[in-house]
Amino acid sequence: MEAVRHDNETAYEKKLKSKAIVRWLHSFRYKHLISIMEGLVEASGGRPVRIVEVGCAHAKLFDLLDPLFPIEYTGIELDGEFARVAEKRHGSRSNFAVVNDAAQSVLRDLDRPDLVVALETMEHIPERHVVRIVEAIADLRPSLFVCSVPVELGPIIWFKNVGSLLIRYKRRERFDWSALKQTFWAGLYQVNRLPLHDVGHTGFDWRWLGQTIRHNMRIREIRTLPLGFLPAGFATNVMFLAEPREPTNEVKA
Domain CATH code at residue 87: 3.40.50.150
Q: How far apart are CA 168 and CA 21, in angstroms?
A: 12
Residue ranges, the chain, pLDDT below 70: 1-8, 12, 15-16, 18, 172-175, 248-253
* CB-CB neighbours of 176 under 10 Å: 10
Strands in 218-225's sheet, in edge-to-edge order, are 96-99, 71-76, 49-54, 115-119, 144-150, 237-243, 218-225
Give the per-residue pLDDT at 231: 95
Beta-bridge partners for 99: 76
Is 243:216 a contact under the CB 8 Å cutoff?
no
Beta-bridge partners for 119: 148
Give the per-residue pLDDT at 168: 76
Q: Is 159 contained in some domain?
A: no
Is 224:230 a contact under the CB 8 Å cutoff?
yes
- How many separate domains does the chain show? 1
SS3 71: strand
DSSP per residue, 150-196 = E--SSTHHHHHHHHHHHTT--SSS--SHHHHHHHHHHHTT-GGGSPP
Closest CA to 142 of 9, 26, 36: 36
Report pTM.
0.90
Phi, psi for residue 81 in degrees, rounded to 5: -70, -45
SS3 245: coil
Q: Is 114 contained in some domain?
A: yes
Query: For the packed helices 156-166 and 177-187, what is the interaxial angle rounded to 10 degrees?
Result: 150
What is the Cα 121 distance to its own chain's centre? 4
Q: How far apart are CA 80 and CA 84, in angstroms?
A: 6
Domain residue limits at 57:
12-151+202-243
Q: Is 249 contained in some domain?
A: no
Q: Is 160 contained in some domain?
A: no
SS3 83: helix
For residue 192, give the DSSP letter. Answer: G
Q: Is 252 contained in some domain?
A: no
DSSP per residue, 28-43 = HHHHHHHHHHHHHHHH
Phi, psi for residue 187 in degrees, rounded to 5: -65, -20
Q: Is 181 contained in some domain?
A: no
Query: For the packed helices 206-216 and 127-140, what is the interaxial angle rounded to 10 degrees?
Result: 30
Q: How far apart are CA 239 and CA 127, in angstroms?
A: 18
What is the Cα 193 distance to its own chain's centre? 26
Give the per-residue pLDDT at 248: 58
